[in-house]
Amino acid sequence: MKTAVIYFSYEGNCKLIAEQINASIPGDMVALQLEDAKTRKGMAKYLWGGRQVVLNRRPALKPYTFDSAAYDLLFIGTPVWAGSPAPALDTFLEQTRITGKQIALFCCCAGGKGKVFDKLRRSLSGNTFVGEMVFINPVKQDTGTLAATIRLWLEELSGQVVP
Ligand SMILES: Cc1cc2nc3c(=O)[nH]c(=O)nc-3n(C[C@H](O)[C@H](O)[C@H](O)COP(=O)(O)O)c2cc1C
């Protein structure tokens, strides 16, 4: 099966998960990156990001290459921002028509997934969802435990995915 892992990551957590998925299931990676590359920290970061969610912004992305026709299975991952997908995902999903694919969703958060999967499923209607997984700040987790969690999830998914 042709597989791609598409993700946005502001602070490295979703990137870590995407890389581990890609190491287990070889395929392409699409790292969505904001055109605005300014690094924000602390409260300014939460205010800036939260504001983007509340105002329903579609931030500009750096150019990326993705042709959904080339894939059967897509992993799509985002950090949770104010209970929602990071707006970079909204930009991507508006720019790219994805239908008829098998999709596994993942998110990284500090504590709660909020409405991330509900919103992504809505934006991605017309696809088949084969699984979803929440990771709590995986960068801070024990690497062995994290690897085992990902391995189990991928095993579980392999029972859901139609070859
Ligand atoms: C603007 C902003 C809003 C956030 N809102 C939430 C939230 O609502 N719930 C939560 O559990 N974590 C929230 N977080 C924490 C991130 O989801 C979490 O640290 C995640 O692992 C970051 O993923 P990344 O490193 O791939 O960017 C927020 C972080 C930022 C920057």
- The CATH number assigned to the domain holding 22 equals 3.40.50.360
49 located within any domain: yes
113-156 pLDDT per residue, tens: 999 999 999 999 999 999 999 999 999 999 999 999 999 999 99
The Å distance, Cα 63 to ligand 1 centre, comes to 24
77-87 pLDDT per residue, tens: 999 999 999 99
The Å distance, Cα 80 to ligand 1 centre, comes to 5
**What's the token pair of residue 53?**
């969610």
31 located within any domain: yes
pLDDT value at position 56? 97
For atom 5 of ligand 1, which residue has the closest CA?
A: 81
Q: Identify the domain containing residue 21 by its residue range.
A: 3-158
Half-sphere exposure of 163 (CA within 13 A, CB side): 2
